[in-house]
Amino acid sequence: MATKFGNLLREIRHTHAELLKDMADKLGVSPAFLSAVETGKKSIPAGWESSIAKAYRLDAMECEKLRTAIDQSAKSVSIDLAHQSAERRGVAVALARQFDQLSDTQLEMIKKSLFVTTNRKKDM
Amino acid sequence: MHSFKAPPMKRADVRQLALKLRRELGMADRLWFPILEFAELALPQMDKNYSFEVVESSELGSSHGLTERIDNQITIKIRDDIYDRAYRDEGRDRGTVAHEVGHYLMHAKSPALHRHFGNSLRSFEDPEWQAKCFQGELLVPKHLVMHMSVSDVERLCGVSRDAAEYQLQLYRAGK
């Protein structure tokens, strides 16, 4: 079963009449690796969003679709902690450690503080 | 030990199936069947529950390919080295892909495969024989090759020399 990202890559190949090997060559990986990313067996490598956008000359709308698919299919998220203050590092590490244990209320609070603009619109 | 028994399909039935597929794709009169494009690009458009994967040998081991059905999802998996050679139009490896397409069409969608104990299967009930037969019939269409040489069949149909010889012998023996 392909992830959303996998399905999008298959759509792109179909549009360009390309096989796995053709796309894998453009991304500098093997067809087996690309296939494993499409089914979620392997993580989506960093930098693929821009490599794909560039290789297939995606327009703004297609790029947005690609970003959404990557967000929905990613198996892990990494946060670059270099050059971050001790306080920020602490928050990131605590969030990663306790993510599974967050209650619905805590999750809601985090969401509200992160997506405050969305909530404002809803309140109007 | 047991094997799986499929609903009976003789060579003539398998040939009809291969020809029907070629007709539906508008390829009844073409020697070269683009098997990889069909398995990778065309089939997913025809069946939303189908997908094609290339897998490392660590996953498939000594198998060259596999057609797998989980619930209603059917996947053809081709080993990476076989895929690379099929992409480079190697006859033997194109044959492997066609073989799995045969399993997809004749067996994966059918719930009728059942375990068979005891005596060896009759060939026309053996899914492996049926898939092997399908790969030959699809890639070497009888109605186009009767007067061709082995070398021409090998080159123009994109099959191994062995496969070209085998199909021509069969056809010339009236099978």
Q: At what angle do helices A48-55 and A20-27 cross, to 10 degrees?
A: 120
Q: Does domain A4-73 have CATH number 1.10.260.40?
A: yes
Q: What is the reported pTM?
A: 0.83
For position B65, what pLDDT does the model report?
94
d(Cα A52, Cα A37) in Å, to the nearest integer?
Answer: 14
For position A123, what pLDDT does the model report?
46
d(Cα A16, Cα B167) in Å, to the nearest integer?
Answer: 35
Q: Name residue, tokens 């099929």.
A: B86
Chain B hits for A37, Cβ within 8 Å: none
The DSSP 8-state label assigned to residue A124 in this structure reads -
For position B61, what pLDDT does the model report?
84
Residue B91 has pLDDT above 80, yes or no: yes
Q: Which residue of A has its CA nearest to B76?
A: A1
Closest CA to B65 of B96, B104, B101: B96
Q: Name residue, tokens 């405050």.
A: A116
Angle B134-B135-B140 from CA coordinates, rounded to 5°: 100
When scoring B51, B60, B66 by the number of chain A Cβ atoms within 10 A, the one with the most, hence best to mutate, is B51
d(Cα B169, Cα B175) in Å, to the nearest integer?
Answer: 9
For position B169, what pLDDT does the model report?
97
Give bridge partners of residue B69 from the DSSP assignment: B74
Q: Which residue of B has its CA nearest to A22?
A: B87
Q: Name residue, tokens 């062995």.
A: B162
Residue B109 has pLDDT above 80, yes or no: no
Domain segments of chain A: what residues? 4-73, 86-123
Strand order in the sheet with B65-70: B50-55, B73-79, B65-70
Residue B43 has pLDDT above 60, yes or no: yes
pLDDT band at B105 (very low <50, low <70, confident <90, very high): very high
Would you call B53 and A35 a contact, using CB atoms and an 8 Å cutoff?
Answer: yes
ipTM over 0.85: yes
For position B115, what pLDDT does the model report?
64
* Partner residue facing B44 (CB), from A10, A17, A30: A10
> In which residue ranges of chain A is pLDDT below 50?
119-124
Chain A hits for B87, Cβ within 8 Å: 19, 21, 31
Residue B62 has pLDDT above 90, yes or no: no
> What is the distance in angstroms between the Cα of A14 and the nearest Cα belonging to chain B?
6
Percentage above 90 pLDDT, chain B: 77
Dig out the tokens for B82 from the structure. 């076989």
For position A122, what pLDDT does the model report?
46
Determine the longest span between alpha carbons in chain B, in angstroms: 45
pLDDT (tens digit per residue) in B110-168: 666 666 666 778 888 889 999 999 999 999 999 999 999 999 999 999 999 999 999 99
Residue A42, C-beta contacts closer than 8 angstroms, at least 6 positions apart = A33, A36
Interface A-B, measured as beta-carbon pairs within 8 A, has a size of 42
Residue B41 has pLDDT above 70, yes or no: yes
Provide mean pLDDT across the span B71-89: 96
